[in-house]
Amino acid sequence: MPGSNVDLAPRVIEMIARELHVDPKVLNLESTFEELDIDSLDGVNILFRLEEEFHIDIPDRLVREATSIGQVVDNLSLALEGKAIVKTEEIS
């Protein structure tokens, strides 16, 4: 859904900016992980933040295959469309 990517982009950019401790204005969909010096540990932390933010499990490969913020948004959109397992909350 193209419209949903547009809605997701600002949230993902804001979340990545918080994780990297940078101003979100310096990030855009074309920003690459290489440009941002995002290493594998940063990638794992971003994955965890996305899962917390959107309450879903995201397959690691969806993040490992991404090389830019735009690809993260696209892959997250796929996950939200049901291509990932939704977390279930245990009721005590």
**Active site (catalytic) residues:** 39
Residue 23's CB is within 10 A of a number of other CB atoms, namely 8
Query: Is residue 87 within a helix (H) or strand (E), and if so which, with residue range?
Result: none
Residue 28: which residues within 8 A CB-CB, separation 6 or more? 13, 69
